[in-house]
Chain A
Amino acid sequence: GESVGLHLPTLSVQEGDNSIINCAYSNSASDYFIWYKQESGKGPQFIIDIRSNMDKRQGQRVTVLLNKTVKHLSLQIAATQPGDSAVYFCAESVQGAQKLVFGQGTRLTINP
């Protein structure tokens, strides 16, 4: 079933290209950030996280960059595959609060 909003920003990329999804966060006190992927009919799936004492963290095919000066977060996906098609959310929190504040999401579509 439909799990996300109808008017999300959309990013279309060619299969095999790199994708960059951006997020502006709101709370300068936030010190923990997560990227989630949500496919239709499913709950958000954890991709990668980063704490505010870092500005870059790498996982398998993904990299998260954090710029605290401008309160900006980005997710880079290398060699995008059809299975990467989903809505991607950034989330922020203050450590210990366990309350995640989510961005609006970006829909990533892959062109063959």
Chain B
Amino acid sequence: KAGVTQTPRYLIKTRGQQVTLSCSPISGHRSVSWYQQTPGQGLQFLFEYFSETQRNKGNFPGRFSGRQFSNSRSEMNVSTLELGDSALYLCASSWGLLNEQFFGPGTRLTVL
């Protein structure tokens, strides 16, 4: 069974631009969560989707948004990029709401 896939793997943007990252969960998984990983703050929860509904949201500004499609694939968007948004963005999927989360390889975003 294929794991969680994320595209693109690497991305370079400039301040003020916007970016969309994509995540395909493991087949059959319905919950998708997003995390930001930086050297300074570690791994921080962004938001979680289940059956196309956002169920939980972390403490990030409104520039960070996401959505989930009917096939459970998810996208996250960051608008008006700032230098501090440079990070590894990780997507995790799970079958339901009480199960372990499996992570993808991440998208490395660099904002110049």
Q: Is the interface of A mostly helix, strand, loop or mixed?
A: loop
Name the distance in Å between B49's Cβ and chain A's nearest Cβ: 9
Q: What is the interface size of chain A, counting residues whose CB is below 8 A from a CB of the partner? A: 29
A105 touching B33, Cβ below 8 Å: no
A49 touching B90, Cβ below 8 Å: no
Chain B hits for A25, CB < 8 A? none
A98 touching B50, Cβ below 8 Å: yes
A45 at the interface (CB under 8 A from B): yes
| Complex: chain B residue closest to A47, CB-CB | B100
B101 touching A98, Cβ below 8 Å: yes
A3 CB contact (under 8 Å) in B33, B45, B88: B88
B56 touching A34, Cβ below 8 Å: no
How long is the Cα–Cα vector from A82 to B103 in the complex, in angstroms? 23
How long is the Cα–Cα vector from A46 to B48 in the complex, in angstroms? 18
